[in-house]
């Protein structure tokens, strides 16, 4: 990766998030003025951190086959307003699948961010049967899946 790309990409993420993150509040079931995790997303990506609980939203750009190795996961890729992509790995052994999900659909999420070079992964988008983890969720077409 060139030095210029190494520094410009994170700066673009910061600018886009600060400019557009406010649209997640209010009309998506997130209380207006609440912390949507934009600061955590920016720092988690820049610092290559994982294990950060985040709330956000994106548009489905690709639907992947389910991961059936171990616990089953519905997988799809979201494009965020920043232009970054984010893999969603939604455990369908613990939470309902999003039915009829299509490319171009908007999905809001609350889950745990894990960094990778491709933009990261959101998982724990469901309840925790053991009650030891903050519950997450996905929202699509007016329905919450957790």
pLDDT of 39: 54
Residue 34, C-beta contacts closer than 8 angstroms, at least 6 positions apart: 25
pLDDT value, residue 28: 35
Q: Decide: 88 and 109 in contact? Cβ < 8 Å.
A: yes
Q: Is the pLDDT of residue 86 over 60?
A: yes
Any residues with CB less than 8 A from the CB of 87 and at least 6 apart, and which?
Answer: 64, 75, 76, 77, 118, 119, 120, 121, 122
Provide the percentage of residues in the chain whose pLDDT is more than 90: 51
Hey, what domains does the chain have and what are their CATH numbers?
Answer: 3-145 (2.40.50.200)
Label residue 16 by pLDDT band (50, 70, 90): very low
* Residue 118 confidence (pLDDT) above 80: yes
Q: What is the pTM of this model?
A: 0.71
Phi, then psi, of 55 in degrees rounded to 5: -120, 135
State residue 32's pLDDT score: 33
Q: Residue 73 forms beta bridges with which residues?
A: 67, 91
Eight-state DSSP code of residue 57: E
Burial of 118 (0-12, 13-18, 19+ CB in 10 A): exposed
pLDDT band at 42 (very low <50, low <70, confident <90, very high): low
Residue 120 reports pLDDT greater than 80:
yes
Catalogue the E-assigned strands of 2-146: 52-67, 73-79, 85-91, 106-114, 121-123, 137-140, 143-145
**Tokens 């077409």 belong to residue:** 141
């Amino acid at each position: 990766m060139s030095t210029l790309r190494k520094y410009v990409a994170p700066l673009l993420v910061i600018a886009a998030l600060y400019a557009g993150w406010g649209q997640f509040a209010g009309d998506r079931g997130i209380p207006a003025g609440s912390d949507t995790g934009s600061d955590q997303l920016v720092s988690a990506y820049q610092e290559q951190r994982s294990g950060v609980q985040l709330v956000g939203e994106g548009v489905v750009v690709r639907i992947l086959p389910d991961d059936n190795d171990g616990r089953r996961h519905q997988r799809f890729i979201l494009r965020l307003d920043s232009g970054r992509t984010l893999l969603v790995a939604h455990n369908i052994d613990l939470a309902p699948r999003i039915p009829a999900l299509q490319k171009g659909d908007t999905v809001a999420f609350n889950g745990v961010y894990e960094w990778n070079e491709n933009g990261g992964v959101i998982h724990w988008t469901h309840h925790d049967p053991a009650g030891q983890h903050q519950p997450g969720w996905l929202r699509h077409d007016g329905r919450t899946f957790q």
